[in-house]
Chains A and B, each alone.
Chain A
Amino acid sequence: MPHIKLPEELPGIRSAMAFRPETAKPLNELVEVLLRGPHSLTPGERELIATYVSYLNDCYYCQMSHGAIAAAHLNDDEELVKRVKADFQHADISNKLKALLVIAGKVQKGGKHVTAEDVEHARNLGATDLEIHDTVLIAAAFCMYNRYVDGLETMQPLDEATYRERGKRVARDGYVMVSKEYLATYAVTR
């Protein structure tokens, strides 16, 4: 049961965002910029970083949601998403993305774990400063989103199909647009 009185009809972070729409706005804008804004890393690659960090933080709702969004971006390849979580070094992704996932995993433990060698390795595989920056910030941001979702003990459905369906919508329409719907619905019922 959630630690505070959250809207019962909404799962995970959406319940918390409906509870506090003022902070929902920048939280949605940040994830939109990081995961969907114009970038040399594809949205699918960035969603894989978000999914991997959420998996390391053991946040069920976030790894399922972002895993589904990643799959929707990547030709519905759910196996790839599972492989990245379990053993990304042997997943069918670029060596550059593997090097960025190493950095993301270090950030998840703590910012100081990232070494000059980790960064140099990513750079040698073609990573730009912007890609390294955004990898660090995506990983850091999911250390926030994951803690927010679990720290309030939000309701997290176990039904994979709901995440899959939702993932397709978010991949198509984006975070800010879908948030407007549920925030508005709840504002009316409140």
Chain B
Amino acid sequence: MPHIALPEGLPGISSGFAFRPEAAKPMRELAHILLHEPNSLAPGERELIATYVSSQNDCYFCQTSHGAAAAAHLGDDEIVKRVKADFQHAAISDKLKALLVIAGKVQKGGKYVTAEDVEHARNLGATDLEIHDTVLIAAAFCMYNRYVDGLGTWQPHDESMYAAMGKHLATEGYRTPSIKTAEVA
């Protein structure tokens, strides 16, 4: 049960957003820019970073919804599972692997990122903007994940709901709600 009286029928972060729309607005905007707006990293790659960090933070709602968004972008569920379990052996670019190493360090704490981690990513073609956004995506999901779990939000285990959310996020982005009460079984 949620720790506070959140609107019923809305899962995960949607319930926090509905409770506090003033804070929801910049939080949605941030996710939209980081994950959805055009960039040299494909949206699917950025969703994989978000999914991986959410998995490291053990946030069920976030890793499942962003995993579904990644799968919708990439047309591939298996790669999402592989990235969470063992990204060094997933069918992704070496550059993305190097960025996931950085994201994993940020998840532990900002100071874990070393000059060598960054140099390695750069040698594989990562730009300063890609490194910046990787750090900020990982940092931002340390916020979103804590927000979702820290309020004890309702996180249904309903695969079809997450699949529908993932499709919406992949096509529409984050500025508008991806889920309405009526869609939840």
Spell out A's residues near B (CB within 8 Å): 1, 3-5, 16, 19-20, 22-23, 25-27, 29-30, 33-34, 37, 57-59, 103, 106-107, 110-112, 114, 116, 119, 129-130, 132-134, 136-137, 139-141, 143-153
Binding site for A on B (CB under 8 A): 1, 3-5, 16, 19-20, 22-23, 25-27, 29-30, 33-34, 37, 57-59, 102, 105-106, 109-111, 113, 115, 118, 128-129, 131-133, 135-136, 138-140, 142-152
Give bound CA distance, A69 to B32, whole Å.
Answer: 30
Q: What are 29 contact pairs spanning A and B, CB under 8 A?
A: A3-B118, A3-B131, A4-B118, A16-B132, A20-B132, A20-B136, A29-B25, A107-B146, A110-B149, A111-B57, A111-B146, A112-B150, A119-B4, A130-B20, A133-B16, A133-B19, A134-B20, A134-B23, A137-B23, A140-B146, A143-B143, A143-B146, A144-B143, A146-B110, A149-B110, A150-B109, A150-B113, A151-B111, A152-B113
Query: Chain B contact residues: over half helix, strand or loop, or mixed?
Result: helix
For the complex of A and B, 3 pairs with smallest distance between CB atoms = A111-B149, A150-B110, A111-B150
Known: A26-B27, A27-B30, A30-B23. A137 touches B147 (CB 8 A): yes
Contact A132 B3 (CB under 8 A): yes
Question: Other than the known A111-B57, A116-B1, what 15 A-B pairs have Cβ atoms closer than 8 Å?
Answer: A1-B115, A3-B131, A3-B135, A4-B128, A5-B128, A20-B132, A26-B33, A29-B29, A57-B110, A110-B57, A134-B23, A143-B143, A150-B111, A151-B106, A153-B113
Which residues of chain B are near A148, meaning CB under 8 Å? 110, 135-136, 139
> Could you tell me the distance in whole angstroms from the C-beta of A154 to the nearest C-beta in chain B?
9
CA distance A23 to B151 in the complex (A): 25
Set of chain B residues within 8 Å of A110, measured between Cβ atoms? 57-58, 146, 149
A20 to nearest B CB, angstroms? 6
Name the B residues within 8 Å of A1 (CB-CB).
115
Asked whether, in the complex, the Cβ of A140 is within 8 Å of the Cβ of B132, the reply is no
User: Does B113 contact A3, Cβ atoms closer than 8 Å?
Assistant: yes
Per the bound structure, the CA–CA distance linking A133 and B25 in Å amounts to 16
What residues of chain A lie closer than 8 Å to B25, measured between beta carbons? 29
Q: Is B20 touching A133 in the complex (CB atoms < 8 A)?
A: yes
